[in-house]
Amino acid sequence: MKTKNRLKRIKYNKNKLSSLSPLLKINAFYPEKLQIVN
């Protein structure tokens, strides 16, 4: 159950991030920059 909840949370976070899709597309090409942002 706990892992299921964690997966749900990850999915939710991905959905939240997808609203920033232009930024996400950039980060998909520059993952090292994404790490700096994080």
pLDDT at 1: 60
In angstroms and rounded to an integer, the radius of gyration of the C-alpha atoms of the chain is 12
1-38 pLDDT per residue, tens: 678 888 888 787 777 766 666 766 666 666 665 555 55
Q: Model-level pTM?
A: 0.29
Q: What is the pLDDT of residue 4?
A: 84
Q: At what angle do helices 2-18 and 21-29 cross, to 10 degrees?
A: 100
pLDDT of residue 6: 82
- Token couple for 17: 């991030």
